[in-house]
Amino acid sequence: MPGMYSARAPSGRTAYAVRMIRSAVPADVPVIHTMIRELAEYERAPEEARATEEQLHEALFGDRPAAYAHLAEDADGNPVGFALWFLNFSTWRGVHGIYLEDLYVRPAARGGGHGKALLTELARLCVERGYERLEWSVLNWNTPSIAFYEALGARPQDEWTVYRLTDDALKALGA
């Protein structure tokens, strides 16, 4: 179910337009793909964003979806951000959680509450479905995002180091 969110100024007045957070539909794939490319530019790694629209469509809407997406829209219905996520599982807690792969808000819409609204919707899904974790990674240099996440109550899991196998190393190990 889509969520309606509005931000409040300290006085209680609406500070900016109401936003709609909704689940993505197949027609959203091109705009999600575009925003993924924009995110890759922001994260200083445009050459690493190699996914095609076809791959994205299959991952989100194929016979066996591997991921899910939500869009943030401004008051005019224009997509201004997205969250792409998938289920993970905690062997220690014995339940699913959500792993947020990407959270992105277009630069012109930043500071308008769209990112918080997307995270609020994912947290709502966790609570509704009995999931006990909402997790994601953030680049160490991305101090604006880190400050935003910490203001929401998120805490870094700095005792863990992420490892990744890709490309030739992955092929060598898998051969």
Strands 79-90 and 68-73: antiparallel
CA-nearest of 80, 54, 85, 58 to 69 is 85
Assigned token pair, 101: 């792969």
Indicate which residue of 16, 68, 149, 163 is catalytic: 149
CA-nearest of 12, 59, 54, 51 to 35 is 51
Do the Cβ atoms of 90 and 133 come closer than 8 Å?
yes
For this structure, is 68 an active site residue? no
- Collect all residues with Cβ–Cβ distance below 8 Å to 22 and sequence separation of at least 6: 2, 3, 70, 71, 73
Do the Cβ atoms of 47 and 70 come closer than 8 Å?
no
Which amino acids are annotated catalytic? 149
